[in-house]
Amino acid sequence: MDRDLIMIALFAALIAALGLIPSVTLISGVPISAQSLGVMLSGVILGAKRGALAAGLVVLMVALGLPLLAGGRGGIGVFAGPSVGFLLGWIAAAFAAGLVMEHTRRLPVWAAGTLAAFLGGIVVLYIPGIIGMSVILDKSLAEATGFALPFIPGDILKSVVAGVLAAALHKARAGVLMSRA
């Protein structure tokens, strides 16, 4: 149990640290931060429950006023901003990614990891994210979806990276995939 908690804190710290890696700008001119890669990996590596707890820990600490989000953002103001849905959605995203990972044991790790990261980190994450933007910016759901679309290519790339990384980690440290334990 103690080890579970340590792994949860470790992945929360990884999510925070990945936010501070300078973001890469795609050809389309849209910057992508590595932070949601951390969320995807939390679910893929730790499994549904622990992954969601890691993401939730980051969300909680952001609310407490710690600058853990990409670019050193944080505080309660984030929860009044247009990206609030994406932030809260991290918890559901990590949970979903973990759930997919737990139920695709027959697939090779890279494929299951990519699928899990895609379904959790994009499909599940964008639903609250788009609802949040739609409410805060007072635009229809279709319009808010349009605002989010430019970020999808970067997130697809991150899903693949998550799958490949999960496979590499699995190879380097047997037993690291708590989602499949």
Partner 1 sequence: MLSLTSETPTPFHRIPAGAKLGALALASAAIFQIPSPALMALPVAVAAALYLSCGLRFARQGLRALRPLWPFLALLTLWHGITQDWANGAMLGGRLLATVALANLVTMTTRLEAMIAVMAKLLAPLRLIGAKPGRIAFAIGLVLRLTPAMLERGRQLGLAWRARARRRRPGWQIVLPLFLTALDDADHIADAVKARGGIPD
Sequence-separated (6 or more) residues with CB below 8 Å from residue 3: none
Beta-carbon count within 10 A of 140 CB = 9
Cα–Cα distance measured from residue 55 to residue 42, given in angstroms and rounded to the nearest whole number? 7
Asked if 68 contacts 19 with a C-beta cutoff of 8 angstroms, the reply is yes
Name the residue nearer to partner 1 (CB basis): 142 or 172: 172
Name the residue nearer to partner 1 (CB basis): 65 or 108: 65
Q: For the CB of residue 47, give the shortest distance to partner 1 in the complex, in Å.
A: 15
Length of the chain measured in residues: 181
Q: For the CB of residue 14, give the shortest distance to partner 1 in the complex, in Å.
A: 6
Q: Is residue 150 involved in binding partner 1 (CB under 8 A)?
A: no
3-state SS assignment for residue 69: strand
Residues that bind partner 1 (CB under 8 A): 2-3, 5-10, 12-14, 16-18, 20-22, 24, 34, 37, 41, 57-58, 60-61, 63-68, 71, 73-82, 136-139, 147, 161, 165, 168-169, 172-173, 176
